[in-house]
Amino acid sequence: MLVVVTIIALFAAIVAPRMLSRGDAARKTAARAQINSFMTALGAYKLDTGQFPTTEQGLNALRVKPQGLNQWQGPYLPQEIPNDPWGNAYSYKFPGEHGDEPDIISYGADRQPGGDGINGDIESWKSN
């Protein structure tokens, strides 16, 4: 019985860290996919209205028509704006600081700018 328990403990010690790191990678991939989806919807929004939503309007302008914007043909996303995979709201800024498009950021697990690994930022202007 002791041998079986030892084998199970060793197996868990080897497998658990690998499974957890895959979960972290999956969250980063999901955040990247959501940001890409937002950027596609923002492109359609701009085609219809001639402009991106302001920072104040935020991503919510993809779901709810901003006042005084008659060309709006949305909603541009099929469901409510999701939080990032860590449960935090995405940061949206327009005009952005990285080109002519809005900046969208997930700050990762630590909810702080910067960081590495699971705490690293996922940014709309970077491809990884």
| Per-residue pLDDT reduced to its tens digit, 95-128 | 988 888 999 999 988 888 887 877 888 889 986 5
Residue with tokens 């209205």: 49
Question: Above 60 in pLDDT, residue 20?
Answer: no
Checking if the pLDDT of 82 tops 70, the result is: yes
pTM: 0.78
Least confident segment among 20-29, 37-46, 98-107: 20-29
Q: What mean pLDDT comes out for the span 55-79?
A: 93
* Chain mean pLDDT for the chain: 85
Provide CB contacts within 8 A for 9, sequence distance 6+.
none
Residue 50 vs residues 44, 75, 76, 120: alpha-carbon distances, Å: 10, 16, 15, 33
pLDDT of residue 25: 83
Partners of residue 105 on adjacent β-strands: 91, 123
Structural domains of the chain sorted by starting position, each given as residue range(s) with its CATH number in brackets = 24-123 (3.30.700.10)
The residues that bridge with 123 in the sheet, in sequence order, are 105
